[in-house]
Structure 1
């Protein structure tokens, strides 16, 4: 638990730690995530002596809800089926054997 915390932050820390462990993370990783989250919330509330700009100006950890974790590739565009249907409307030959990339190329994307 981070130093200089109050009862609310201790409850928050335990809740986050238990939640992360429930998702299957190791106890060490759960403690790290919980401590980072609580420290960021303390910084946003003005409860810490020093705080980074990203801690105070970025969206809160709870609101973000993992937007920055996992798949970092971003949107992949239309699906293969959507491209296929557009190719069908344009009467492109050989569309049934084309891959998503080939369909996009044939459609001029």
Structure 2
């Protein structure tokens, strides 16, 4: 069942079904596949001005497809350097502005322990 506001037979409804089926083929549960598909479709609707309301992040962040491609094959928690930097900033890691991604990953994991 596509998210509210998505008409049956529309491009977004087909997109929802495609994403959901793909996730189920990869072993995700039906409930999780439905949630991920709905979130993805809602974000695309927001990015293209099809939704009544949308958050700033939904409009300005990179697209769902691009984000998935960037983080694929990186194992769990494939975060971008910017995401790691923001996490390091919130933890108060010193010298973070001069760190590369690998250094930020190590610093964040050390700070968590």
TM-score range, shorter chain: 0.5 to 0.7
Of 50, 64, 67, 2:67 maps to 64
Q: After the TM superposition, which residues 1-109 of structure 1 pair with which residues of structure 2 at under 5 Å, given as runs?
A: 1-6=2-7, 7-65=10-68, 67=71, 70-72=76-78, 76=102
State the TM-score, normalized to the length of structure 2: 0.60
State the TM-score, normalized to the length of structure 1: 0.62
Question: Structure 2: where are the runs of 5+ without partners?
Answer: 82-100, 104-113
Question: Structure 1: where are the runs of 5+ without partners?
Answer: 78-109
Q: What whole-Å deviation, never above 9, does each CA across 1:66-105 have from its counterpart, x for those lacking one?
A: 628723587657xxxxxxxxxxxxxxxxxxxxxxxxxxxx
RMSD: 2.3
Bigger fraction of residues in helix = 2
Q: CA deviation at 1:65?
A: 1.3
Q: What whole-Å deviation, never above 9, does each CA across 1:32-64 have from its counterpart, x for those lacking one?
A: 000000000000000111101110000000011
Q: CA deviation at 1:25?
A: 0.5
